[in-house]
Amino acid sequence: MKPGILPRPKPIAAYLGLTAWAVICVLMGASLLADHLLTLPAPAAASLRDVVAAQRRVDQRDRWLVLHVVAAGCGCSARVLEHLLATPRPPGVIERVVFVVEPGGVAPAAAIRDHGFDLDVVTPDELGARYHVEAAPLLVVVDPHDGVRYVGGYTPRKQAADLRDLAVIAATRRGETVPPLPAFGCAVGRALRSKLDPLGFRN
């Protein structure tokens, strides 16, 4: 080899390097797209009845109760919360925002309470323990007898502008059965996050 001339890389080494790079790109792309393409799991209504009943305060018994589960750092949750704070809410209904933050995180408590919402600030682990929920945003409508009448998302498509919480609440109060909308958003529970992002690209 002449001085000053670097040896050419062996073809096999270049091929392996290119293959490894392509595999990493595909895995990262699939992981990052998961939140945009996958419908997140919603808990079964039957599994929520007792846990939601246990979270009612005494003054909230025998009334319609609506839970809005939203998470800090989740774009879909941010859109839902913005919508909640900007639209007139149905009279005669207790609405609670369950705001999920990592330990030490802060929720916009004053803005939420000033708009008439009850507020429960929880960590991801507390969300699972108290409500059996792993993803956000999620809409839950509970009748005065603690029957869970709706568990699902807010929109028919990812990032759709037509949030349908008011229509869902009104229909369930009329006694109608409302098919659940898909739950698009962010995995909040640690087990679900690990399942959707096993390599930790997003976390």
Tell me the mean pLDDT in the region 34-61: 79
Residues 3-31 pLDDT 10s: 555 555 556 755 555 555 555 444 444 44
> CATH assignment of 45-193, given 3.40.30.10, 3.10.310.40, 1.10.645.10, 3.40.50.11900?
3.40.30.10
Q: Residue 194: its pLDDT value, please?
A: 53
Q: Give the CA count within 13 Å in the CB-facing half-sphere of 107.
A: 23
Q: Is the dihedral of CA 64, 188, 181, 88 positive or negative?
A: positive
Q: Which two tokens stand for residue 31?
A: 């992981």
Residue 21: both structure tokens together: 């790079």
Where in the chain are the domains? Answer: 45-193
Per-residue pLDDT tens digits for 148-165? 999 999 998 877 788 999
| Structure-token match 């808990």, residue found | 43
For residue 185, what pLDDT is reported?
Answer: 87
Report which of residues 91 and 16 the model is more confident about: 91
pLDDT of residue 27: 44
State residue 11's pLDDT score. Answer: 67
What pLDDT does residue 161 have? 80
Proportion of the chain above pLDDT 70, given as a percent: 73
pLDDT at 45: 86
Q: How large is the average pLDDT for residues 92-105?
A: 95
Question: What would the two tokens of residue 8 be?
Answer: 């050419």
Q: What phi and psi, each to the nearest 5 degrees, are found at residue 27?
A: -65, -45
